[in-house]
């Protein structure tokens, strides 16, 4: 074992991937202030909330109300929605185990896990939380209701998410 770090090629995409891997190592496992902890914890909570409540609810309403060729009973929709929620919960557990296993390790697979978490964080902060805010302000994509205050609130929350990403950088 060498005391020197492994050589990484420093051209274009490799440089970006190396930076993202190093940043996510700090982001996931480094020391933090309370503000960084909040900027990490709130999106994580809302991501889990979305996976465990919104997605099964969407599945339930698709199976029982929205899709005319299905129109299952409420009981069937409930069972399928709970199956979806259980699968989402299992995926969250597997992702958490993978993230902890990647701690301090180098290699393509471990870097891929950390980069996936970064892309997931960006998705949550820049798209998912603004979508939840848009819904909170009265907006809806199905049925289509797009009031101006919902769009403004969603854009404001997206801007705050972008500011949080800039702060973390």
By the 8 A CB rule, do 117 and 153 touch? no
Number of domains into which the chain is organized:
1
Confidence check: pLDDT of 4 > 70: no
Separation between Cα atoms, residue 27 and residue 124, nearest integer Å: 15
pLDDT band at 33 (very low <50, low <70, confident <90, very high): confident
> Most distant CA pair in the chain: distance in Å?
64
Domain holding 164, by residue range, is 32-168
Residue 2 lies in a domain: no
Taking residues 101-107, what's their average pLDDT? 90
Residue 1 lies in a domain: no
pLDDT of residue 9: 62
Residue 10 lies in a domain: no
Chain segment 39-59, per-residue pLDDT in tens: 999 999 999 999 999 999 999
Question: What are the b/e assignments for 110-139, b being 16+ CB within 10 Å?
Answer: bbebbbebeeebeebbbebbbbbbbeebeb
């Amino acid at each position: 074992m060498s005391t020197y770090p492994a050589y990484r090629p420093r051209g274009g995409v490799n440089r970006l991937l190396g930076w993202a891997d190093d940043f996510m190592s700090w982001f996931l496992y480094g020391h933090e202030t309370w503000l960084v902890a909040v900027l990490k914890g709130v999106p994580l909570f809302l991501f889990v909330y979305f996976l465990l409540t919104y997605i099964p609810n969407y599945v339930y309403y698709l199976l029982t109300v929205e899709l005319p060729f299905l129109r299952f009973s409420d009981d069937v929709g409930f069972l399928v929605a709970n199956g979806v929620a259980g699968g989402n919960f299992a995926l969250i557990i597997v992702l958490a185990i993978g993230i902890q296993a990647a701690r301090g390790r180098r290699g393509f697979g471990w870097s891929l896990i950390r980069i996936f978490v970064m892309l997931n964080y960006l998705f949550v902060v820049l798209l998912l939380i603004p979508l939840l805010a848009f819904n909170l302000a009265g907006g809806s994509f199905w049925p289509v209701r797009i009031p101006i205050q919902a769009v403004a609130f969603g854009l404001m929350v997206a801007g705050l998410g972008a500011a949080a990403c800039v702060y973390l950088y």
